[in-house]
Structure 1
Amino acid sequence: MTYSQFDYIIIGAGSAGCVLANRLSEDGQHQVLLLETGGSDKSIFIQMPTALSIPMNTRKYAWQFTSDPEPYLDNRQMHCPRGKVLGGSSSINGMVYVRGHAGDFDEWQALGAEDWGYAHCLPYFRKAETWAFGGDAYRGDTGPLAVNNGNNMQNPLYRAFIDAGVQAGYPATADYNGMQQEGFGAMHMTVKNGRRWSTANAYLRPAMQRDNLTVVTHALVERILLDGQRAVGVRYSRKGQTQEVRCRAEVILSAGPIGSPHLLQLSGIGRPEVLQAAGIEVQHALPGVGENLQDHLEFYFQYRCQQPITLNGKLDWWNKLLIGTRWILKKDGLGATNHFESCGFIRSKAGVPWPDLQYHFLPAAMRYDGKEAFDGHGFQLHIGHNKPKSRGFVRVRSADPAEAPQIRFNYLQHEDDREGFRACVRLTREIIAQPAMDPYRGEEIQPGRGVQSDEEIDRFVRQAVESAYHPCGSCRMGEDELAVVDSQTRVHGLEGLRVVDSSIFPSIPNGNLNAPTIMLAEHAADLIRGREALPASDLPVRGDAQWQSRQRLQAAMRPAS
């Protein structure tokens, strides 16, 4: 069956797609179709923040992708879940809100993404959000996306970690999403009134009340339809039936950093040798499709806690029942937070201009699947080197849209990335050795005191790192021969086709990717509608003026033992 009444077809109801569905339908003048392979997000396990590990590891709500054996990680295959539900990955993620450093977006512009520097992006960050503590020049107060600090660091371990960072010679930051990212402070999350505030809740659900927006779930898009060099529609399957739908204006691909390059390749758009190897006829040669894949790695630095104040005492079935019941009745308590309520952003060495290491502090010692790491009480820091130079790829395997693509990140391929993780281990030990942690710090469980030399650290990292679930860059924005879209998000060499999601990031920001993905979609919506961009900002950014010669502001109070 073929329909032709739509102006815009958006593929993917994820972090970017939900924003676009709202913004492109808000004037009531255009018919918009949003296609999503997954289904409803109305599950307690999605909406209750503390249950975040469940949807991420559930096939109903997430594509459970796996990488090729990674050659620089002892050939481990890495888990790469991506949202398959209304809200996409914003419905399965950790709800951490980090914009990234201003330098990250100026880096985008330097790499060829014109008008995507920090001055151009900041107004769209502000437009998207409502910051719980009031708007200012850096933070918004009227946007759809609610941002707060969960339970406001009630557990004393959160404050102790921040104090330890300051004692180690780093600055405190009152708002790492404002003037100053570098330093230690409270962490922000996308939660509203105790519920996960995904883009489905923030953007899509209000827009679904409009007559000019049609949302179709359980629709697997098989290919983008081309008429010569113009995209004219899509083909998708639903409930065993194949359907084609046409558009008058544009097809907008928002299937994410794995799905977007894969669908372009299924449509015959990509590197010719990759398409031919998969038995797909080349419709438009574009060699950068699927290349430039990036991701963040992290590992857990775990310690025993000398006081019985951690979440490890809340992991039995009775306490989980109490937490869940309270959340159902009141939408507050431990069920209403992701538990990452303090954080840090630091530089790995002198000569690095802005932070490239990120901490998430958790007052518990557990794995991402929510299981205990050891008996007793403990705490952990998620730490990663966030500006990797290693690059991977996404490549179609066959013409079957149901077959997952080949994914290889080439994690730790570059020596600078390995050096960054050595800094993670050594700098973290120094921070936790500070006096603020004395009442709490017990035995180091992981990596363990036996891990000291470069070789020992490298071996530990290869075996222990996990994805932070921040893939991006596989349809890079720019103007060179390996760029996939231009600065207007239009696919090079084709008409009527754009890509709008984290796949078009030229480089990976220092932080979680949900906030910059939402910002990108807000900005792209104005580009698509032909509206004048929001006025660029001229606000200053605070950093260390002596970054070339020092790694932190001052010496630590106490060196690592």
Structure 2
Amino acid sequence: MQASEVDYLIIGAGSAGSVLAGRLSEDPGTQVTLIEAGPADRSVLIHCPAGLALMAKSRQLNWGFETVPQPGLNGRRGYQPRGKVLGGSSSINAMIYMRGHRADYDAWAAEGNAGWSYEEVLPYFKRSEHNERGADAFHGTGGPLNVMDLRSPNPFGPRFVEAAKEAGFAANPDFNGAEQEGVGLYQVTHKNGERCSAAKAYLTPNLGRPNLQVRTGALVTRIVLEGRRAVGVELLEGGQTVTLRARREVLLCAGAFQSPQLLMLSGIGPADELRRHGIAVRHELPGVGAHLHDHPDVVLVYDLPGATDLFGLSLAGAARVWRGIGEWRRQRSGMLTTNFAEAGGFIKSDAAEPIPDLQLHFVIGKLVDHGRKTVFGHGFSCHVCVLRPRSRGSLRLASADPRAAPLIDPAFLQDPDDLRRMVLGFKQMRDILNRPALARFGGRELPASASARSDAEIETFIRNHADTIYHPVGTCRMGTGALDVVDTTLRVRGIEGLRVVDASVMPSVVGGNTNAPVIMIAEKAADLIRAQA
């Protein structure tokens, strides 16, 4: 199918866009075009799970954005990776399958978002999932997204869990089950030893459908409006400007940064911001780009010389990786099936907290600057992030040029409560890493953090080293207020034929990794779209 007019135009082939393309094209009478600025997902770095170690350095598959200088991070610019490929960020992420806490969705509903409570979204999580452990009250089988336990787990993951138990934390075999709190090994979006991105789950099996067109290497520059109705898109493809039209709807799935950017480039957003860049105001919507927030995160790194079970740069480590390449190519098993962040947990900064407000990610290698800095030797790392930050920032335009990166300001640690919780989490994380189950291997905390002992010193370390753990949301927020951008069916307020379906619509970030929730949002959106049609 090569049509300039179809029923649905989907902008962005990330987690949400892939789901919508797969679901909406199930009806052979519905024509769908999916548009992606990046390439097809052919790189072995995507399909081999351990390839994610090199994604931070990729410019072909990763937009590699940066924030504006962050006062809360002592003026540093944060790093903001986003997938630029079929599958979007699900093609470059750490593949952790996590939904967040049931209270997160109940809070959405309590704010006026009818239909988005935990009990109402749980069926969509289950519909999307094929969990290799089997179906139960919380999990599904038969869905497109394969979820499994790691095929060849590293021995240090269970050691971290034992250390956390020694520190007084309960083991939890299923963070997506009846209870989130505790420590354990993460389940991952893998299938047969390969990454199972949203594209591989929902898109790749359906590329032969005659009613589904996928256009890669195509940058959408604006949404075409006729009056207050979205009727198509304009895009740059092969050096040419192309216009495509939608008979029913334009579905914007470009993510928490590029969805609000594209709305503003199309004349939908805060009037002053649009005029500042010479963009004609087609529809004033002041909340576009507001409420940006993300999980602030800091990492402790330990050096373990000679611990070649862990990933690291050494002669012995290189030989082990070389053997691992052979095993993965032959059997799709072995060390290269890792997602690196193999273990973790959900803990409370204070026992009085009603639900966990901190998340841990234990990494089987020395992670410095998101993996962009080369570090020699072997060791492990552990993240702690604040799950419900109070700080709120914004997404603004740098210029009217659609090829220019937007101005990203998550306002990290702007609210003192975020830093307070992070300090408490840092101390608990350090306590776990120093427990006998890990300490017996003789690891040494790197000097940058080891010298931080008092709360004030820990605060300084955090401000000098904290950054994102890649969960930006909120810039096209769903709700009923004056600054909310979409309604509960994800339709853009005041514009017909246009919806936003991605992490930008989250009223507040969930307490956990965001990929599975975005897939759930898109599954629910597909039903909402079909119901209207």
Into which bin does the TM-score normalised by the smaller protein fall?
A: over 0.9
Which residue in 1 is equivalent to 2:257?
A: 258
Residues 268 and 281 of structure 1 are in contact (CA less than 8 Å); yes or no, is this contact kept in structure 2? Answer: yes
Residues 103 and 118 of structure 1 are in contact (CA less than 8 Å); yes or no, is this contact kept in structure 2? Answer: yes
Name the CA distance, whole Å, in 2 between partners of 1:315 and 1:134: 40
Which residue in 1 is equivalent to 2:59?
A: 59
Paired residues for 1:315-326 under 5 Å: 316=315, 317-326=318-327
Letter in 1 for 2:65: F
Which residue in 1 is equivalent to 2:18?
A: 18
Letter in 2 for 1:69: P
Name the CA distance, whole Å, in 1 between partners of 2:487 and 2:281: 21
Which residue in 2 is equivalent to 1:231?
A: 230
Letter in 1 for 2:367: M
Which residue in 2 is equivalent to 1:175?
A: 174
Residues 153 and 186 of structure 1 are in contact (CA less than 8 Å); yes or no, is this contact kept in structure 2? Answer: no
Query: What secondary structure does 2:141 align onto?
Result: coil
Name the CA distance, whole Å, in 1 between partners of 2:399 and 2:372: 36
Residues 359 and 381 of structure 1 are in contact (CA less than 8 Å); yes or no, is this contact kept in structure 2? Answer: yes
Query: What secondary structure does 2:63 align onto?
Result: strand
Q: 1:149 deviation in Å?
A: 2.0
Name the CA distance, whole Å, in 2 between partners of 1:320 and 1:434: 29
Name the CA distance, whole Å, in 2 between partners of 1:486 and 1:212: 29
Any runs of at least 4 consecutive aligned residues in structure 1 with deviations exceeding 4 A, and if so which? 313-316
Q: How big is each residue's C-alpha offset from its partner over 1:368-425, in whole Å with a ceiling of 9 and x where there is no partner?
A: 32765453x4222121112111111111222211111111111000011010111122
Paired residues for 1:114-263 under 5 Å: 114-151=114-151, 153-155=153-155, 157-263=156-262
Letter in 2 for 1:208: L
Query: What secondary structure does 2:64 align onto?
Result: strand
Q: 1:336 aligned to 2:334?
A: no
Q: 1:366 deviation in Å?
A: 3.2
Residues 166 and 172 of structure 1 are in contact (CA less than 8 Å); yes or no, is this contact kept in structure 2? Answer: yes
**Please, what is the CA RMSD of the aligned residues?**
1.9
Query: What secondary structure does 1:225 align onto?
Result: strand
Name the CA distance, whole Å, in 2 between partners of 1:221 and 1:312: 40
Q: How big is each residue's C-alpha offset from its partner over 1:146-169, in whole Å with a ceiling of 9 and x where there is no partner?
A: 1112135341x2222212222222
Q: 1:184 deviation in Å?
A: 0.7
Q: 1:4 deviation in Å?
A: 5.0
Residues 312 and 379 of structure 2 are in contact (CA less than 8 Å); yes or no, is this contact kept in structure 1? Answer: no
Which residue in 1 is equivalent to 2:81?
A: 81
Name the CA distance, whole Å, in 2 between partners of 1:289 and 1:12: 18
Name the CA distance, whole Å, in 2 between partners of 1:374 and 1:113: 49
Q: 1:451 aligned to 2:452?
A: yes
Name the CA distance, whole Å, in 2 between partners of 1:251 and 1:14: 15
Which residue in 1 is equivalent to 2:493?
A: 492
Q: 1:528 deviation in Å?
A: 0.6
Which residue in 2 is equivalent to 1:292?
A: 291
Query: What secondary structure does 1:215 align onto?
Result: strand
Residues 151 and 193 of structure 2 are in contact (CA less than 8 Å); yes or no, is this contact kept in structure 1? Answer: no
Name the CA distance, whole Å, in 2 between partners of 1:446 and 1:279: 50
Residues 306 and 440 of structure 1 are in contact (CA less than 8 Å); yes or no, is this contact kept in structure 2? Answer: no
Deviates more, 1:139-148 or 1:315-324: 315-324
Q: How big is each residue's C-alpha offset from its partner over 1:251-282, in whole Å with a ceiling of 9 and x where there is no partner?
A: 00000001100000000000011111111010
Q: How big is each residue's C-alpha offset from its partner over 1:90-137, in whole Å with a ceiling of 9 and x where there is no partner?
A: 111111111111111112212332211111111111111111211111
Q: How big is each residue's C-alpha offset from its partner over 1:439-484, in whole Å with a ceiling of 9 and x where there is no partner?
A: 2253222654421222211110011112211111110000100100
Which residue in 1 is equivalent to 2:399?
A: 398
Residues 165 and 431 of structure 1 are in contact (CA less than 8 Å); yes or no, is this contact kept in structure 2? Answer: yes
**TM-score, structure 2 length as denominator?**
0.95
Letter in 2 for 1:222: T
Residues 292 and 474 of structure 2 are in contact (CA less than 8 Å); yes or no, is this contact kept in structure 1? Answer: yes
Name the CA distance, whole Å, in 1 between partners of 2:420 and 2:277: 37
Paired residues for 1:402-481 under 5 Å: 402-445=403-446, 448-481=449-482
Deviates more, 1:184-193 or 1:249-258: 184-193
Q: Compared with structure 1, are the counterparts of its residues 448 and 267 closer, same or farther at alpha carbon in structure 2 (3 Å cutoff)? A: closer
Identity %: 45
Q: 1:45 deviation in Å?
A: 1.0
Residues 154 and 335 of structure 2 are in contact (CA less than 8 Å); yes or no, is this contact kept in structure 1? Answer: no
Name the CA distance, whole Å, in 1 between partners of 2:179 and 2:220: 42
Q: How big is each residue's C-alpha offset from its partner over 1:289-325, in whole Å with a ceiling of 9 and x where there is no partner?
A: 0011111122221223477253245754433332222
Name the CA distance, whole Å, in 2 between partners of 1:82 and 1:154: 27
Q: Compared with structure 1, are the counterparts of its residues 531 and 228 closer, same or farther at alpha carbon in structure 2 (3 Å cutoff)? A: closer
Letter in 1 for 2:55: P
Query: What secondary structure does 2:413 align onto?
Result: coil
Name the CA distance, whole Å, in 1 between partners of 2:294 and 2:128: 24
Q: Compared with structure 1, are the counterparts of its residues 151 and 485 closer, same or farther at alpha carbon in structure 2 (3 Å cutoff)? A: same
Residues 152 and 333 of structure 2 are in contact (CA less than 8 Å); yes or no, is this contact kept in structure 1? Answer: no
Residues 5 and 246 of structure 2 are in contact (CA less than 8 Å); yes or no, is this contact kept in structure 1? Answer: yes
Residues 300 and 446 of structure 1 are in contact (CA less than 8 Å); yes or no, is this contact kept in structure 2? Answer: no
Name the CA distance, whole Å, in 1 between partners of 2:401 and 2:380: 45
Query: What secondary structure does 2:187 align onto?
Result: coil
Name the CA distance, whole Å, in 2 between partners of 1:446 and 1:113: 47
Letter in 1 for 2:162: D
Q: How big is each residue's C-alpha offset from its partner over 1:159-199, in whole Å with a ceiling of 9 and x where there is no partner?
A: 22212222222221121111111001111111111111001
Query: What secondary structure does 2:170 align onto?
Result: coil
Q: 1:495 deviation in Å?
A: 0.6
Which residue in 2 is equivalent to 1:507?
A: 508
Residues 186 and 342 of structure 1 are in contact (CA less than 8 Å); yes or no, is this contact kept in structure 2? Answer: yes
Q: 1:369 aligned to 2:371?
A: yes
Q: 1:7 aligned to 2:7?
A: yes
Q: 1:379 aligned to 2:380?
A: yes
Letter in 2 for 1:301: L
Query: What secondary structure does 1:518 align onto?
Result: helix
Q: 1:310 aligned to 2:312?
A: no
**TM-score, structure 1 length as denominator?**
0.91
Residues 128 and 519 of structure 2 are in contact (CA less than 8 Å); yes or no, is this contact kept in structure 1? Answer: yes
Residues 301 and 447 of structure 1 are in contact (CA less than 8 Å); yes or no, is this contact kept in structure 2? Answer: no
Query: What secondary structure does 2:286 align onto?
Result: coil
Q: Compared with structure 1, are the counterparts of its residues 320 and 433 closer, same or farther at alpha carbon in structure 2 (3 Å cutoff)? A: closer
Q: 1:3 deviation in Å?
A: 5.3
Deviates more, 1:146-155 or 1:493-502: 146-155
Name the CA distance, whole Å, in 2 between partners of 1:305 and 1:397: 44
Query: What secondary structure does 1:130 align onto?
Result: strand
Q: Compared with structure 1, are the counterparts of its residues 374 and 318 closer, same or farther at alpha carbon in structure 2 (3 Å cutoff)? A: closer
Residues 152 and 338 of structure 2 are in contact (CA less than 8 Å); yes or no, is this contact kept in structure 1? Answer: no
Letter in 2 for 1:252: L
Which residue in 2 is equivalent to 1:520?
A: 521
Query: What secondary structure does 2:518 align onto?
Result: helix
Q: Compared with structure 1, are the counterparts of its residues 183 and 288 closer, same or farther at alpha carbon in structure 2 (3 Å cutoff)? A: same
